[in-house]
Amino acid sequence: MLPREFATEVAKKLQAAGYQGLWAGGCVRDQLLGKVPTDYDIATDATPEQVRQLFGHRRTLPIGAAFGVITVIGPRSAGHIEVATFRRDMEYSDGRRPDSVEFTDAREDASRRDFTINGLFFDPVQNEVIDYVDGRADIDFRIVRAIGDPHERIREDKLRMLRAVRFAATLGFELEPNTRAAVIQHAPEIGTVSAERIGGEMRRMLVHPHRAAAAQLLADCRLLGEVLLDGEQLAQNRANWRTRLGWLEQLGREAEFAQAAAILLSPLLKVQGINPTSKRWKLSNAEQKTIRWIEQHVVPMSRAHLMPWSELQPILVHPAAVKTWQVAKVQFGEHHPGILACEKKLQLPADQLDPLPLLKGDDLIELGIEPGPAFSRLLQQVRAAQLDGEIETRQQAVHLVESIQTGE
């Protein structure tokens, strides 16, 4: 069963039991845009306990029951669906989520959502769009508009500023003027949002093909300097900023977050390292290492045609080598000599790209060499000679070690 089929089945079962069962939010928006929704949410007038009674306690999870949300477990191929009771949100004392909710009807539920394009419902049984917030018109006119007072929507949840930018950029929409003005006015308040949530939005923006538009809109809305330490400096050098945006645009559709982040953050990383960004975006250790490694090795790859193999080879066998080469290709051009040299080497069979070492540490110990500061240097010298074709056999490697040890 596909997710869409399961979402239709859940809605039908709710309606057959006398409740409303409507698709809600992003899945309706995506369907109207001609896209296949990646997930489905359902809104209903049934209470959480009524939803559990209808679908059974074994097929439901009450994880979000305090906010009127019950997760209905579907077949493995369909996944899970959140069924939320129509609600109005009370005060948002933490600028993130309501302190409490009251159950209500579909019209009022739509009015408490963030943007008109996300405030639509769809009845899959009647094949009917239900629109209380003029969201369909805003989809037609390609506008991201806050529902009601944009200042109030942002005060409720400051993350909505980043979501507004993400939706506008990734959908190719415009930010409605009043919504845009509210984002600019409240931009300094984004710091009250957790690093995990900010990082999540930045990942979504930077993995999208419209990542350059997202970066520019962040700068235009004065959010770039808030989500990055000294981030406002990135856009101040206009020529460098336009170049960097061009690189972001040229990254392929399948480009990863670390690649886009390395391009965007490179000027800051050279000055302040990865730690400030890591704290603001809650980057994992793996993400930090990959972003930093890419940033540090793009330029060396451009000089690949001038480097001895023993110097280039350790770079090209690194797990992030191909990702880095893709970034370097964007920055220096696919016909650059260094980029072509890397491409040729990366196409080598594994046993040629990274041949087994002629000597390892245990071999040196067998030769009577005690581990110490010179131990790794010896191994590096032997490896370099092997890669550069100066030695080809273990016997030659042993002879080289003996020569180095005796100073010959």
- Intra-chain end-to-end CA distance of the chain, in Å: 73
Q: pLDDT tens across 222-261, in order? A: 999 999 877 777 877 888 899 999 999 999 888 999 999 9
pLDDT band with cut points at 50, 70 and 90 for residue 90: low
Answer whether residue 133 shows pLDDT above 60. yes
Residue 121's nearest CA partner among 84, 162, 78 is 84
pLDDT band with cut points at 50, 70 and 90 for residue 311: very high
The CATH number of the structural domain formed by 1-135 is 3.30.460.10
Helix axes 3-16, 48-55, angle to 10 degrees: 110
Task: State the Cα–Cα distance between residues 150 and 153, nearest whole angstrom.
Answer: 5
Each domain of the chain, given as residue ranges in start order, spans: 1-135, 361-406
Task: Please say whether the dihedral angle defined by the alpha carbons of residues 171, 172, 176 and 179, taken in this order, is positive or negative.
Answer: positive
Answer whether residue 146 shows pLDDT above 70. yes
Answer whether residue 362 shows pLDDT above 60. yes
Give φ, ψ of 89 to 5 degrees. Answer: -90, 140
Question: Checking DSSP bridges between strand 41-44 and strand 22-24, what pairing results, if any?
Answer: antiparallel
Residue 26's nearest CA partner among 152, 158, 126, 166 is 166
Lowest mean pLDDT among 26-40, 78-92, 103-117: 78-92
Looking at residue 238, what is its pLDDT? Answer: 86
Residue 330's nearest CA partner among 246, 224, 241, 222 is 246
